[in-house]
Amino acid sequence: MRVIFRQSPCIPADPDIIVDGHRPTLREELIMTRRALENAYAGFDNATDPDLIDCYIYELNSVMKRYKYLLQKAAESEPLPDEEHAEAMRPLTMS
């Protein structure tokens, strides 16, 4: 089992918080949220303890709702070229 430790949360709780000297753009938030979703899926896949499984289910639901919200927000805004959104908006694949 691979465990990933983070020094700080990968998604700011408040969108107005400045991270590393700048406010994240919508594209950056989508990328951070996608990575958090992939990490949550990886943790869920490797969890064996029932309490950890419950924890990852809650985390998956939370991050998925944020990801859907950000995708809706991106769809409402003016679209950017595909190459800029390719990483942030590619569909998730289940393996």
Within a domain: 73: yes
Within a domain: 61: yes
The residues near 38 (Cβ < 8 Å, ≥ 6 apart) are 92
Instruction: Say how many domains are in the chain.
Output: 1
**Per residue in 3-29, pLDDT tens?**
554 545 555 555 555 556 667 788 889
The residues facing 22 across adjacent strands are 19
Q: pLDDT-based confidence at 93, cuts 50/70/90?
A: low
Within a domain: 34: yes
Within a domain: 35: yes
**Per residue in 32-59, pLDDT tens?**
999 999 999 999 999 999 999 999 999 9
Amino acid at 33: T
Within a domain: 31: yes
Within a domain: 4: no
Within a domain: 46: yes
Angle between helices 26-46 and 82-89 (to 10 degrees): 30
pTM for the complete prediction? Answer: 0.59
Range of the domain at 74: 26-89
